[in-house]
Amino acid sequence: MNNNIPAELNQPAIKSRISILITKVKMMDLFINLSTIPDDKVTFLIGEINKEIISLERQMDKIVEKAKIPKEQGEEDFLRMLDTTRAIPNSATPIDPNIPKVE
C-alpha cells in the first residue's frame, strides 16, 4: 500500500497515516489468529482502524483541495527560491574582495 501512492498524494503525512493503518491491521490479524480471540481488544482495534481510515481520507481530501487552488503569477518561482536544497552553500571562510580572481 505504501508503494502505490499517487504522485500528488506521495507526502510524509499520507505515508505516516498509511504506516499506522498497516500496523493496526497487522495487530488485528495477530489477535484474530490467536487460539482465544480477545474480543475487547479486537473491538477496540476496529474503532482505532476506523479512526485511522477517516484520518487518512481527510488528509487526502485536504491535499486534493489545496491542489485545486490556482497559483498566482510568479508563485512557482517564489516557492523554488524558498527550497533550501537549491540554495548556494555558504562557505566557512569569508571571501576577501581584494584577492585577484582567476578567470
Mean pLDDT of the chain: 84
- pTM for the model stands at 0.65
CA triplet 19, 60, 51: central angle to 5 degrees? 55
Grade residue 54 by pLDDT with cuts at 50, 70 and 90.
very high
**pLDDT given for residue 72 in this prediction:** 78
Supply the DSSP string of the chain, one letter for each residue.
-TT---GGG-SHHHHHHHHHHHHHHHHHHHHHTSSS--HHHHHHHHHHHHHHHHHHHHHHHHHHHHHHSPPPTTHHHHHHHH-GGGSPPPPSSPPPTTSPPP-
pLDDT digits (tens, 9 = 90+) for 59-99: 999 999 988 888 778 777 777 777 766 656 555 556 666 77
